[in-house]
């Protein structure tokens, strides 16, 4: 819905001028609409990746087989089972939890850093009033 509203905010004069210049519909999508919609794509990628990474409850309910568990479910379940073996009893459960938190935070940070310039442009475009 967010992308739909953003794409509808593009003035139709831009698309009409591209058609007059001889662009096909695919050329309009790739050469005009895609560059205009980069900010909203960056924002959607950030929001969706954070949502998928943090959807622990659904993944925990569905993925019961330990071989098919995602990284998040496996790491969080390993924190729950810290005292189950001799080696894990010697580990500090708080330190173990913090280390897993850092491991889970790094992909989210990398996604945000790589798409943050598009996210900032999207905010700036919405702030301009014509």
The pLDDT value recorded for residue 92 is 61
The pLDDT value recorded for residue 35 is 85
Residue-averaged pLDDT of the chain: 76
Q: 66-88 b/e with 16+ CB inside 10 Å = b?
A: eeebbebbebbeebeebeeeeee
For the chain, percent of residues with pLDDT exceeding 90: 5
- Token pair of 46 as six digits: 């950030």
Place 119 in a pLDDT band, splitting at 50, 70 and 90: low
pTM for the full predicted model: 0.59
The pLDDT value recorded for residue 127 is 44
Higher-pLDDT residue of 57 and 20 is 20
* pLDDT, tens only, 22-81: 999 999 989 888 888 888 888 888 888 777 777 776 777 777 777 877 777 777 777 666
Higher-pLDDT residue of 91 and 30 is 30
Q: Is the pLDDT of residue 129 over 50?
A: no
Locus of tokens 């662009």: 23
125: helix, strand or coil = helix
The pLDDT value recorded for residue 128 is 46
Q: 102-129 b/e with 16+ CB inside 10 Å = b?
A: eebeeeeeebeeebeebbeebeeeeeee
The pLDDT value recorded for residue 82 is 57
């Amino acid at each position: 819905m967010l992308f739909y509203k953003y794409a509808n905010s593009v003035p139709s004069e831009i698309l009409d001028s591209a058609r007059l210049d001889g662009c096909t519909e695919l050329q309009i999508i790739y050469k005009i609409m895609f560059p205009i919609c980069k900010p909203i794509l960056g924002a959607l990628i950030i929001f969706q990746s954070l949502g998928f990474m943090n959807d622990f409850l659904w993944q925990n309910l569905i993925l019961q087989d330990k071989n098919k568990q995602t990284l998040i479910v496996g790491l969080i379940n390993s924190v729950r089972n810290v005292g189950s073996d001799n080696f894990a009893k010697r580990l500090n459960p708080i330190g173990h939890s913090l280390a897993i938190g850092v491991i889970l935070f790094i992909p989210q940070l990398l996604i945000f850093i790589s798409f943050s310039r598009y996210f900032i442009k999207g905010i700036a475009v919405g702030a301009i009033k014509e």
